[in-house]
Amino acid sequence: MDIGTPLVEIWRGDMLESQHSGHIVICSPDGQVQEAWGNPDLTIFPRSSCKMIQAVPLLTSGAADAHGLTAEHLALSCASHQGAAIHREHVTAWLSDLGLGESALRCGPEAPADIEERDRLITAAESPCQIHNNCSGKHTGFLTLGKHLGAGPEYLELSHPVQKASREAFEETTGEDSPTWAIDGCSAPNFATSLTGLARAMAAFATAHEREDAASKAMVRLRDAMMLHPNLVAGETRACTELMRAVPGVALKTGAEGVFTAIVPEKGLGIALKISDGTTRAAEAAITALLQRLGMLDATHPAAQTRLGPITNWRGFVTGHTAVTAALS
């Protein structure tokens, strides 16, 4: 794998201790590469960073309106949530509205990342269920679309109408035929694309309000739902949530293995990045630096300082700092 350009540094004292390399593409409003670091043609799995694309058919099919979905539902359909009580309650109610229960999901059980919910389960001697899975909102969106289409319950099969619609939306939005696919952590198909294709898709979301076709109207509703409900997209302490609160008007989405995307409607830009070693801390630092580079986030903001700034130990002593390389600063 092409490891790309050095982007993020971890310093301990006055010595460079670790360095993370990767690739970044910023696409302009017309979908062309405006700026890039590393290899813009690198083929990647977007992982969860493309959930908003996977949710487009939920709206273009008419399923969202037929089932009375709100902005909260749409934000959850794009979410990689913490499994907190707010996420569990919303997904449970959504499934109930569909006349379904937890067993209809195919994402698998996952221990919640939210500490309060994890402690509640331990105290109650309960096991985590599929609703706690960080992708349960996306999967409930899949179930909503499947029910609207009158399709069968195995909505993750590649030949299922839900996944056919998902792939079509993915390829139309990225502007590329996906060269391959693999199974994601939640068991859903994840389609590969170039980093430029992913950034191009984010630029399409950023400029969607300028167009009147059904897919563009869906993109506007999805990105606006993410920005309106950042707590549902991820959760407390998470980079997506904290950075969207810090920079209103930008939609952000993390993905496993060091992927991050950003939709910037104010500037019509789409951003996609991949950290080669798959490290989340580096992806969060890089997206933070890019928001600063665009003049949208002050370096002194607490959300920025958490990702790019002092590193403290368990006693609160400053031991070093996280920084970006000269190439990105």
Alpha-carbon distance 138 to 48, whole Å?
10
Coil, strand or helix at 113: coil
Q: Contact at 8 Å (CB) between 226 and 233?
A: yes
pLDDT in tens, 80-119: 999 999 999 999 999 999 999 999 999 999 999 999 999 9
Residue 148 has a pLDDT of 98
Tell me the C-alpha to C-alpha distance, in Å, between residue 65 and each of 51, 139, 182, 236, 246: 19, 17, 31, 29, 31
Query: Would you place residue 36 in the very low, low, confident or very high pLDDT band (cuts 50, 70, 90)?
Result: very high
Q: Coil, strand, or helix at residue 26?
A: strand
Q: How many CA atoms lie within 13 A of 304 on its CB side?
A: 17
C-alpha span between 182 and 190 (Å, rounded)? 5
Average pLDDT (37-63) is 98
Q: Which of 248, 223, 265 is nearest to 59 (CA)?
A: 223
Does pLDDT of 181 surpass 90? Answer: yes
pTM of the predicted model, to two decimals? 0.97
The token pair that represents 26 in the structure block: 């910023």
For each of the domains in the chain, give its residue range(s) and CATH number, in order of start.
Answer: 5-324 (3.40.710)
Q: What is the pLDDT of residue 329?
A: 85
Single-letter residue type at 299: A
Q: Please, which pLDDT band fits residue 1 given cuts at 50, 70 and 90? A: confident
Q: Across the chain, what does the average pLDDT equal?
A: 98
For residues 277 and 253, give the distance between their C-alpha atoms in angstroms, rounded to a whole number. Answer: 18
For the chain, give the percent of residues with pLDDT over 70: 100
The pLDDT of 151-157, averaged and rounded, is 98
Residue 75: the pLDDT is 98
Cα 171 to Cα 151: distance, rounded to the nearest angstrom: 22
Residue 63 pLDDT: 98
Percent of the residues in the chain that have a pLDDT greater than 90, as a whole number: 99
Tokens matching residue 43? 């083929």
- Predicted local confidence at residue 46, as pLDDT: 98
3-class secondary structure, 99? coil
The arithmetic mean of pLDDT across residues 32-49, rounded, is 98
